[in-house]
Homo-oligomer: A and B are copies of this chain.
Amino acid sequence: MANISLHKPVPASDVSAWDLDTDIVIIGFGAAGACAAIEAAEAGSKVALFERNSGSGGASGLSGGEIYIGGNGGTEVQRDAGFEDRTEDFAAYLKMAGGPCVDEAKCDLYAEKSLDHFAWLKAQGVPYRGNYLAGKHIEPTDDSTLIWSGSEAAAPFCDQAKPAPRGHVIQHMGWGGGRPLVDILEAKVRQLGVDVHVDARALGLVQDGEHIVGAVFKIDGKETFVRASKGVILATGGFVMNEEMRRKYCPETFKINDPIGDQDDGTGINLGVGAGGDAIHMDQFFTTCPWTIPEPQASGVFVNVQGQRFINEDCYHGRVSRTMVDQSGGKVYLLLDVAHFSEPAEFARMTIAGTGETWAEVEAELDMTQGTLAATMHFYNKHAKEGRDPLFDKRQPVLTPLDQGPFVALELNFQTSYFSFFTLGGLKTSINGEVLDRTGAPISGLFAAGRCTSGLPAWGHGYSSGMSLADCTFFGRQAGRMAAG
């Protein structure tokens, strides 16, 4: 009997009989797996797709269905709204967003091919209303298409890449567009005759010499050996649901408490590393707290427990949130005046920690030393009235004085407020989705896409909404085509 493990491929010689035979095995039926399956099947390969749950979705199905798209002058939606989006600006933004973890080749390729990818998504049947929704939104609450979904218009990004909104959201009323997005992709997958197996959990890969030639699944309680003559594509998501992996590779996430994911337990990363793959930037994670809801709160100012500001609050809510979690003291405060305050979103679990007719009163109510928060706000307001933020370069129109009381300080507590998060580190892959070994060489027959890889959204401080789905769908397609050969 073969000794089956996530951490080491089974030698093909140990496989007594194959239960299924196909060209390409895909593990995981989120957006990455679906897109890989579509491309591989359209290229003429026989494809079998295995999903641990009883249906498609994965973390993609829990998302907003927003995809980060631009370049080449802009999509028709961008152009209709008056935004030209040059490829150079798009690539420059993607690279800044990747920070120290950037994969420049992936950024360049995606910036160049993103418009084609948008056309492809529409050709699969993904609907877009085609309009632009101005303002600061996490997701549209209606069925609008184009939103500002990152830090494009904020410093330092706007100084190095001409800003444009790039979040393209599937036509869908309200949040949760990820589910219909995956449904559309699934319909295409099934229409193409992909052999879909649900309730099928991956147990291991099978290797013949240096080549990955199949995988083993638990289906109906039985170990099922599947031969894949052209290889295996891993599309299983990140490891946010695996506490042991988080402890070893991404322990900062224990500061916060709301992992978002599906069965994202690192299965694909473990399979890939076990086959000789390289897991990189494993410490990186996205986090956000929905502090920009209701929208006027986006004009608020954040201070840490020292009463200091720490970022230009007009950048992406996730970049602000990730920087919050860097602050010492376990919490930060969102400061608002009466004009910008209304009841915060209940699920945010932000609490009113202090109020006052003056900022000095708020400071006192928070038990902060005299001359901290109040001095910060005095300085902020003085310059905001002049239209500038000399400390962090926050820009108008989000930059606005908060000087007409009463005032409020909302507490965002890392342990008790809602800080959703998911992991960004994963397998190192080529631009074609090949899993690379630690020397940088492709592992024969092994491919990966989505959050089991380190891709476009490589750096927690640079994430923008739509980047992960862009990465999943585009590089899922790349992997599917490459595997089909």
Residues of A at under 8 Å CB distance from B?
A: 5, 7-8, 99-101, 248-249, 251-252, 254-255, 270, 273-274, 276, 278, 280-283, 306-309, 326, 369, 371-372, 375, 379, 383, 390-392, 428, 437-439
Contacts and interface: CB of A to CB of B under 8 A. Distances in A.
Contacts of A379: 371-372, 375
Given A7-B437, A326-B326, A369-B391, 4 more contacts: A100-B254, A248-B278, A308-B308, A375-B375
Contacts of A309: 306
B276 A438 contact: no
Contact of A438 (B273, B326, B372, B375): B273
Contacts of A383: 369
A283 B280 contact: no
Contacts of A270: 438
B372 A391 contact: yes
B438 A7 contact: yes
B100 A439 contact: no
Contacts of A278: 248
Nearest to A99: B251
Given A282-B283, A283-B283, A306-B391, A100 B251 contact: yes
A101 B392 CA distance: 31
A7 B369 contact: no
B392 A248 contact: no
Contact of A282 (B5, B100, B282, B375): B282
A247 B371 CA distance: 42
Contacts of A439: 5, 7
B375 A7 contact: no
B101 A438 contact: no
Nearest to A100: B251
Contacts of A307: 391
B372 A280 contact: no
A276 to B, nearest CB: 7
B280 A248 contact: yes
Nearest to A101: B251
Nearest to A251: B100
A332 B307 CA distance: 19
Contacts of A7: 276, 437-439
Contacts of A391: 306-307, 369, 372
Nearest to A248: B280
A437 B379 CA distance: 54
A248 B390 contact: no
A252 B392 contact: no
Contact of A369 (B326, B369, B371, B390): B390
